[in-house]
Amino acid sequence: MKLLYLHVISNIKFSVIILVLLIVLNCLEEFSFEAQVIPEDEVEALKRISTKFKIPYWKNISQTSCNRSEDLNATISTNALSKVMCDYSYNSSTICHITYM
């Protein structure tokens, strides 16, 4: 009888651990990071600016450039810096807008 009691308690502990693990994993999904995309019109505008001002660093920009470790900032000369800043706070952090050049 005592052995059966220990087996039941062991199963309950295991079930509680599994339940807690599932709850934690579910909560982590809520806080996961989704791909942040730059709107297509902003991508095209940056490409046109890149062509017009001959800034080669922005030619290959895409909607997912904010997600990659791609550096959109570059020192052109000692007096000039090519810099792009993005704001990731739009639409629950799923949209990335270019806010500074």
Question: Hey, where are the domains in the chain?
Answer: 1-32, 40-100
Which pLDDT score is estimated for 32? Answer: 46
> Does residue 69 surpass a pLDDT of 50?
no
Q: How does residue 30 score in pLDDT terms, banded at 50, 70 and 90?
A: very low
What is the phi/psi pair of residue 17, to 5°?
A: -60, -45
Mean residue pLDDT across the chain: 68
How far is Cα 84 from Cα 72, in angstroms, rounded to an integer?
A: 6
Q: How does residue 80 score in pLDDT terms, banded at 50, 70 and 90?
A: low
Both tokens of residue 30? 């809520």
Both tokens of residue 38? 């730059």
Looking at the whole model, is its pTM more than 0.75?
no
53-67 per-position pLDDT tens digit: 787 777 778 887 766
